[in-house]
Structure 1
Amino acid sequence: MGTQSGTTDDADSFRQEVERLRAAGAAGHSGRLREVFDYLAQRGPDAGSATQAEIAQHVFRQAEPDAEDATVRVYIHRLRKKLEDHYRANPAPPGAPMLEIPSGVYALQIAGTQQAQNGPEQVSAYLAAVSEGPTIRAIPRSWLVLAALALIAAFVSGLMLSRASPPAPNALWQPLIESDRPVLLVLGDYYLFGEIDPVRPEEGRLIRDFRVNSAEDLLRMQEADPARFGMAEDVGLNYLPFQTAFALEQVAPLLAASQKDVRVIAASELTSSMLSSHDVVYLGLLSGMGLLEEITFAGSTLRLGESYDEIVDRETGQVWASDEARRLASPAFYRDYAYVARLRAPGGALVMVVASERITGLRGVGAIVAAQDIGRDLSGPAAAPAFEALFQVTGQQGADLSDRLILARARQ
């Protein structure tokens, strides 16, 4: 429980508003949502953020909370939304405070008095606390984003520094190295939203829908198709495919040779304005390109097919489709396809795309673009200002076993 350090007036106002919200049924008159509200309310207005474990133990009676259990996060999200909806429909009386659960914080506070400051010192303190033991801790969402990018950047820096003499980049990378712009290393990420049944919230699920790539997209879909998205909620989650690390391990040392400033961001963070000041290296699945998808295929001789598992030749109609999804679980061999391109984007950015249809191609494509002899296969097209190439990657149960060049062409 947090220490009470606010004024008596603040504490009194907080208690009065809590009672008003209870009487109005803002969090319901009974049930688990009301129990979460009551638990946070009894901690007082100046309490720090409760941990996920504390809420799980005191409210949900979980003696040993599961780190993968999203129940607490779901209920906190629902309670935050309930309070926002209540004040929108029933503004607080004159002079009365409004109560809120600030984003990323598990505490009930008077609006405008959030205690947490998400600076570097707090991130360092959190990471130090985690290193001391297995305690499950809830931290603000902005800390999570900052910490995740810091860890990825540290990983990239470690790969760069781990080799006293980074490998000489092949011809594929020379234009990027000769450019005078800093580099954005863009990793393909995915937005997830929750589908929460108000009657059975414990049966909620996380969903990836390729039409929904942000909270704003989710709102548009809710307006356009309320029957399908009526129970959908933004839960503040994005994810990166683990196999991106295999490509990252190969590409990071190549970027070390450029001696440039390299910034790591998620594809969902990339904006058009960044293409006016940076060059870009994209690593990830074709389905995670975001803004770069349209830019890449606008001047391409290839296009995406009916799904992200298909690449189609615009001229001949030939289709290269991954069959990983049908054969991944069996010992059968299958084919996946990796796509590599270099192009000039609107705004002047030099864009390198290192992508694949499925995860087997993503595991193998890093070694392909880092190979010293790639110039032999791409000697003609790679000499052009812009080019693209397609590689077939043979896989078995997720492992990339071999690869071969399918096509290589100059492009617009």
Structure 2
Amino acid sequence: MSDTGAPNLQTLKQRIIDSGALGRSPVYVKLLDYLTDCAADSRQPKEFEIAVDVLGRDSNFDVSRDSVVRVYIHQLRKRLEAYYVRHEPNADYRIVIPKGQYIITLEACRPDTPAASREDSPERRRPARLTLALLALIAVLGAANAWQWSASSGPEPVDSLQATLSHPMWQQLTDDELPILLVMGDYYIFGELDEEGRISRMVRDFFINSSEDLTSLFMQDSSLQDYFRDLDMTYMPEGSADAMLQVAPILRATGKPVRVTMMSRLQTADLRNNHIIYIGYISALDKLNNLYFQTSGLLPGRTFDEIFDKQGQTLYTSTAGLPQQGQPFRDLALLATWPGANQNQFVLVTGTRDAGLMHAADVVSDIHKLSALDSKADFDTEQSGVSHEALFEVYGIDRMNFEANLLYHQPLDPALIWANSQ
């Protein structure tokens, strides 16, 4: 910071805080204030000092076992990058946190230097490795989709990712220490036995969505054990893999731990201890079905290919399951988000069939589409931007989505969701 023409560090810091780019959590403002004061004193704080002075940890804090400081520093670094991408792309100077350090510095930007660091630009970054959680999903999707995953796991443009993460919906998932749980909508299948006790065919029943459900059925009628058998098998639609490819770069960019589970293996406790992102068909919502639809303005139809608008008394129907190859169809995409009872956030990325599901993933992973959705709202998005639902009609061919129209967009009342779930 020896450049005599450089602006005051405190001035730049306050400009960032005033922009709201640090999110709703006061921790990031406090952390930036702390690092700025340390920089003014030419002092580099230790990880333990940050934990105690900023994050309120006690003297028993163990830096070798708790990564909370590293997580917050990483998130603050990403927010600073997002600020310059979104608010000051042509800034002459910017505040940065060097990788692997707990200090802030004032960096002069050359005219040809983009707001996102050259070190992090797509041309200079190595292809990002999939996290262990995502590798677990590859095993589920099978070899055909594994190739698609590995071929598509290269780096995304830094400015695009950070701009998307700056949207209020995504900020709800990054402003705290809660981990992210990605729930993939799967379908539990069990075996039907022939007269000799051999598996004659596999059965899918909308009301039996896990081994526990089948066991409960056997407890109600033990004679059914002579006809059906638990195979411990599930399957997922192909569109789930495509939707995951859209969302995965966003999840990696959060810098948070991400765990993947199937809906058939989701535990009730998981809904309290994690931010929940669901990707899958509406018909596979299972444990989230009643939680969401009991206070939604929408209702699923009997076959889950229909969505009913309760206020408008309108029935929307997907024809994606009917047309032959090459024939156009209409599908339905649904995006919903609301805060949980334990300061966590729920995000549903779903649809009636593949095309609808993939369009919902397109919207949630693109800042321009998220902003366009906000602009069309006839309610206060500042108040309801992190608690709302949107339904789209999607036009497609052969499971691919081509264009979509917004059919319905209304706020959700999270208080009603949790009141009705008691």
Q: Give the TM-score taking structure 1 as reference length.
A: 0.58
Contact 1:152 1:264 in 2 (8 A): no
- Once residues 140 and 194 of structure 2 are traced to their aligned partners in structure 1, the CA distance between those partners, rounded to angstroms, is 35
What is the aligned counterpart of 2:268 among 265, 269, 272? 272
CA shift, 1:200, in A, is 7.6
- Once residues 370 and 186 of structure 1 are traced to their aligned partners in structure 2, the CA distance between those partners, rounded to angstroms, is 17
Residue number in structure 2 paired with 1:354? 349
| Structure 1, 174-183 or 149-158: larger mean CA deviation | 149-158
| Structure 1, 296-305 or 227-236: larger mean CA deviation | 227-236
Measured at CA, do residues 365 and 314 of structure 1 come closer, stay the same or move farther in structure 2, by a change above 3 Å?
A: same
Measured at CA, do residues 297 and 256 of structure 1 come closer, stay the same or move farther in structure 2, by a change above 3 Å?
A: same
Residue number in structure 2 paired with 1:373? 368
Residue number in structure 1 paired with 2:155? 162
- Once residues 270 and 201 of structure 1 are traced to their aligned partners in structure 2, the CA distance between those partners, rounded to angstroms, is 30
Residue number in structure 1 paired with 2:277? 281
What is the aligned counterpart of 2:301 among 292, 299, 305? 305
Check if 1:258 corresponds to 2:254: yes
Contact 1:296 1:343 in 2 (8 A): no
Check if 1:291 corresponds to 2:287: yes
Measured at CA, do residues 178 and 161 of structure 1 come closer, stay the same or move farther in structure 2, by a change above 3 Å?
A: farther
Q: Which letter maps to 2:195?
A: P
Measured at CA, do residues 270 and 396 of structure 1 come closer, stay the same or move farther in structure 2, by a change above 3 Å?
A: same
- Alignment deviations for residues 205-235 of structure 1 (CA, whole Å, 9 cap, x no partner): 0111111112222233345567877411111
What is the aligned counterpart of 2:191 among 194, 197, 211? 194
- Where do 1:32-47 residues align within 5 Å? none
Q: Give the TM-score taking structure 2 as reference length.
A: 0.57
CA shift, 1:386, in A, is 0.6
Measured at CA, do residues 293 and 213 of structure 1 come closer, stay the same or move farther in structure 2, by a change above 3 Å?
A: same
Contact 1:304 1:311 in 2 (8 A): yes
Residue number in structure 1 paired with 2:56? none
Contact 1:169 1:257 in 2 (8 A): no
| Number of corresponding residues | 266
Contact 2:138 2:149 in 1 (8 A): no
- Once residues 411 and 339 of structure 2 are traced to their aligned partners in structure 1, the CA distance between those partners, rounded to angstroms, is 12
Residue number in structure 1 paired with 2:170? 173
Larger radius of gyration: 1
Residue number in structure 2 paired with 1:345? 340
Q: Where do 5+ consecutive residues of structure 2 fail to align?
A: 1-132, 414-422
Measured at CA, do residues 301 and 387 of structure 1 come closer, stay the same or move farther in structure 2, by a change above 3 Å?
A: same
Measured at CA, do residues 228 and 378 of structure 1 come closer, stay the same or move farther in structure 2, by a change above 3 Å?
A: farther
- Once residues 369 and 147 of structure 1 are traced to their aligned partners in structure 2, the CA distance between those partners, rounded to angstroms, is 22
- Where do 1:26-175 residues align within 5 Å? 148-149=136-137, 151=139, 162-163=155-156, 165=158, 167=161, 168-169=163-164, 171=167, 172-175=169-172
CA shift, 1:161, in A, is 6.0
- Alignment deviations for residues 124-160 of structure 1 (CA, whole Å, 9 cap, x no partner): xxxxxxxxxxxxxxxxxxxxx9984474799989966
Measured at CA, do residues 243 and 146 of structure 1 come closer, stay the same or move farther in structure 2, by a change above 3 Å?
A: closer
Residue number in structure 1 paired with 2:418? none
Q: Where do 5+ consecutive residues of structure 1 fail to align?
A: 1-144
| Structure 1, 182-191 or 155-164: larger mean CA deviation | 155-164
CA shift, 1:402, in A, is 1.4
| Structure 1, 382-391 or 156-165: larger mean CA deviation | 156-165
Residue number in structure 2 paired with 1:120? none
Contact 2:186 2:235 in 1 (8 A): yes
- Once residues 156 and 289 of structure 1 are traced to their aligned partners in structure 2, the CA distance between those partners, rounded to angstroms, is 24
What is the aligned counterpart of 2:233 among 234, 237, 252? 237
Q: Percent identity, please.
A: 30
- Once residues 402 and 138 of structure 2 are traced to their aligned partners in structure 1, the CA distance between those partners, rounded to angstroms, is 32
Residue number in structure 2 paired with 1:407? 408
Check if 1:336 corresponds to 2:337: no
Q: Which letter maps to 1:340?
A: L
CA shift, 1:264, in A, is 1.2
Measured at CA, do residues 390 and 179 of structure 1 come closer, stay the same or move farther in structure 2, by a change above 3 Å?
A: farther
- Alignment deviations for residues 175-219 of structure 1 (CA, whole Å, 9 cap, x no partner): 2233432111111111110001033836x1011111111222223
Measured at CA, do residues 292 and 320 of structure 1 come closer, stay the same or move farther in structure 2, by a change above 3 Å?
A: same
CA shift, 1:313, in A, is 1.2
Contact 1:247 1:366 in 2 (8 A): yes
Measured at CA, do residues 227 and 359 of structure 1 come closer, stay the same or move farther in structure 2, by a change above 3 Å?
A: farther
CA shift, 1:339, in A, is 0.5
- Once residues 378 and 295 of structure 1 are traced to their aligned partners in structure 2, the CA distance between those partners, rounded to angstroms, is 24
Check if 1:183 corresponds to 2:180: yes
Measured at CA, do residues 371 and 146 of structure 1 come closer, stay the same or move farther in structure 2, by a change above 3 Å?
A: closer
Contact 1:159 1:253 in 2 (8 A): no
- Where do 1:205-224 residues align within 5 Å? 205-222=201-218, 224=220
Report SS of the residue matched to 2:238: coil
Contact 1:185 1:281 in 2 (8 A): yes
Residue number in structure 1 paired with 2:393? 392
Measured at CA, do residues 331 and 352 of structure 1 come closer, stay the same or move farther in structure 2, by a change above 3 Å?
A: same
Q: Which letter maps to 1:182?
A: P
Contact 2:280 2:351 in 1 (8 A): yes
CA shift, 1:244, in A, is 0.7
